[in-house]
Amino acid sequence: MNKFIQTAVCLLSFMTTTVSCGHFDEINTNPDVPTQVTSEMLAIAGIKSLLANSTGKSFMQSYMACKYIAWGELSESYLYNGFGRTGLGNYHTIINMQKMVELSDDKNVKAYSALAKFVKAYILFNSTMELGDIPCSDALKGEEGTLRPKYDTQKEVMLQVIEDLEEAYTLFSNANDFKGDPFVGGKVERWKKIVSTFQLQVLMSLSKKTEDTDLKIKERFSQIVSQSSLMTSNDDNFQMVYSDKAGQLYPFNDNMYSKNPMVSSFLIDMMKETEDYRLFYYAKPSEAQLKAGVAANDWNVFIGTDVTQDFSIHKDAYVNGRFSCVNDRYNYYRPGEPVIRIGYAQQNFILAEAVVRGWIAGDASHYYKQGIKASMDFLTKYTPDEEIYHQGRKITPYYIEHFLEQPSIQLTGDENIDIEKIITQRYIASFMQHPWGAYYEYRRTGYPKFPINPETSLNSNAKDKIPVRWMYPANEYSYNKENVEEAVKRQYDGNDEVNQLMWILK
């Protein structure tokens, strides 16, 4: 009996010790991951997410869709107008921006609030340009319990974007320079210019909706031009600068697909016509022509590829060297060139178009030529002066002057022809820049006239057209079915399809 009591006591004490779980919370806390960070870190993350580019083949996808290049490895769907679904994953960044403002100290709260609004506007603008209606006012409220946000109309979203940008500009005007920005340097003066140029871009992309009284496109546009500070040179560009360091190399540098891009005949013919030296900076002489004895600085050394042809024809040309790859600087020069998202050249083209449309007063031709010059300056600035990068056809200030005087590029005074010329030059200036920028311009204006071949087009419901949007992501149908279906119904009659016109295009 004694022994029994002893063992029972032992057992009970053992059991009570196992029940004490006070230190369990400590065990379950990951020491390598923080629960609190600083505003600076969040600012870096936010800005980086806007500027970052994917590498390798993914980097080239948008340029395939914009008919700049064909691809030698295998048939890519973007080459043949095959659009799919896109995602809404970048909303995470907006949540980080909210936290950034919450964690900010008083000195920088204005700057961080401005930055947060800018980032939010940028992301929402891009998402709605891709899809149409998206969640906006109801979004980012997960912590409060709203797990299924409703979709706002595109007009509401655009209005929100415009208003946010105006507030951002005002806040930046009253803020101090802030820390945590290795890309722009935290300088509010530069940020103001970035915000205002972006505003111009947003407003111009709404060019079909000038009659809308809520948006007041023309008024806002002219107000910005007259009152806000705008970019004055390439130094004000909102761009990602690369360098010769691990993790900072140019996105297409030295990867396994380096020989695959084949510059399109669409672009090459355009540039040959005006004897645009930028062609020598963009493309590489084709091996077949060099072998045949053509000089490297001859205009005929480039062989363009008709991007709409059947892939087997591409393949044949690719195998035999009868194509022009992209310039060696994109492949082997480690810092490459910066990739611009919001830039000075682009700003000038927008202003030129606005003058032509009658939104603002001014000299369209002046802005137009400034834009071309800005693009050429950019190239000379970031290209090392070596033969292999320009084959001796160097862009000099003298050449730029001479080029700008050519009769073929002059504006005529006719609105449609001028817009076409402006957009075409904007297209040429956007080679390997402004990812998807050229596509949106084509979608809005129809220029430059992309070649379309119904026989090879993967856009099955409209073989003679380029798709005008992407479809909503599949996980929205899984997690937020009612709201996405409602959005699709009111916009596209229930048909979530790539050829359906969104509000800004109607």
Q: What residue has token string 């020989």?
A: 259
d(CA 257, CA 322): 17
Binding mask 217-256 for other proteins (x = CB under 8 A): ----------------------------xxxx-----x-x
240 in Cβ contact with 51 (< 8 Å): yes
Q: How far apart are CB 102 and other proteins at their closest, in Å?
A: 13
Q: Check binding of 455 to other proteins (CB under 8 A).
A: no
Site size for other proteins (CB under 8 A): 40
Residue span binding other proteins (CB under 8 A) among the ranges 262-270, 313-321, 372-380, 491-499: 313-321
Our CB check for other proteins shows the closer of 83 and 333 to be 333
Helices of type H across 274-409: 278-282, 287-291, 311-319, 328-332, 344-357, 364-382, 387-390, 397-404
Please report whether residue 145 would count as binding other proteins according to CB under 8 A: no
- Asked whether position 5 contacts other proteins by CB under 8 A, the answer is no
Q: Which of 9, 39, 44, 329 binds other proteins (CB under 8 A)?
A: 44
Q: Does 48 bind other proteins (CB under 8 A)?
A: yes
Enter the DSSP assignment of 134. Answer: B
Instruction: Write down the least CB distance from residue 320 to other proteins, Å.
Output: 7
Q: Write each residue from 257 to 296 as x if it is in contact with other proteins (CB under 8 A), else as -, in one continuous string.
A: -xx-------------------------------------
Residue 34 within binding range of other proteins, rule CB under 8 A: yes
Q: Measured between alpha carbons, how far is 191 from 177 in angstroms, rounded to an integer?
A: 10
| CA 381 – CA 338 distance, rounded (Å) | 11
Which lies closer to other proteins via its Cβ, residue 309 or residue 348? Answer: 309
Return the range that interacts with other proteins (CB under 8 A); candidates 233-241, 310-318, 410-418, 460-468.
310-318
| Amino acid residing at 183 | F
Residue 24 interacts with other proteins (CB under 8 A)?
yes
The alpha carbon of 184 is separated from its chain's Cα centroid by a whole number of angstroms, namely 17
DSSP state of 200: H
**Considering beta carbons, is residue 213 or 312 the nearer one to other proteins?**
312
**Part in contact with other proteins (CB under 8 A); list of ranges 40-48, 161-169, 391-399, 462-470:** 40-48
- Give the separation between CA 251 and CA 41, rounded to whole angstroms: 23
Q: Which is nearer to other proteins, 98 or 228 (CB)?
A: 98
Rule CB under 8 A: which of 369-408 touch other proteins?
none
Residue 254: CB minimum distance to other proteins, A: 7
Q: What percent of the chain is helix, strand and coil (3-state, nearest 5)? A: 55, 5, 40
What is the Cα–Cα distance from 12 to 3, expressed in whole angstroms? 14
Nearer to other proteins, 3 or 506 (CB): 3
DSSP 230-259: ---SGGG-EEE---SSTT-S-TTTT-TTTT
| 250 or 442: CB nearest other proteins | 250
Q: Which residues contact 493 (CB under 8 A, 6 or more apart)?
A: none
8 A C-beta contact, residue 120 and residue 97: yes
Q: Is 25 an interacting residue with respect to other proteins (CB under 8 A)?
A: yes
Show the tokens assigned to 220. Answer: 């806002």
Could you say whether residue 147 binds other proteins (CB under 8 A)? Answer: no
Does the N-terminal peptide bond of residue 31 adopt cis geometry, omega within 30 degrees of 0? no
Candidates 250, 318, 333, 450; binder of other proteins (CB under 8 A) is 318
Both tokens of residue 243?
């360098």
* Angle CA 454–460–463, to nearest 5: 25
Task: Show Cβ contacts of residue 384 under 8 Å, excluding neighbours closer than 6 positions.
Answer: 329, 333
**Residue 37 binds other proteins (CB under 8 A):** yes
Candidates 23-31, 273-281, 401-409, 475-483; binding stretch for other proteins (CB under 8 A): 23-31
Interaction with other proteins in 178-197: which residues (CB under 8 A)?
182
Interactions with other proteins, residue window 413-452 (CB under 8 A) = none
Q: How far is the CB of 236 from other proteins (least distance, A)?
A: 23
Return the residues of window 320-379 that contact other proteins according to CB under 8 A.
320
- Residue showing tokens 């300056």: 377
Residue with smaller CB distance to other proteins, 19 or 147:
19
Of 100, 125, 259, 289, the closest CA to residue 195 belongs to 125
Q: Residue for token digits 């210019």?
A: 193
Nearer to other proteins, 319 or 474 (CB): 319
Angle between helices 91-103 and 109-131 (to 10 degrees): 170
- Contact residues for other proteins, defined by CB under 8 A: 3-4, 7, 10-11, 14-15, 18-19, 21, 24-25, 27-37, 41, 44, 48, 182, 245-248, 254, 256, 258-259, 315-316, 318-320
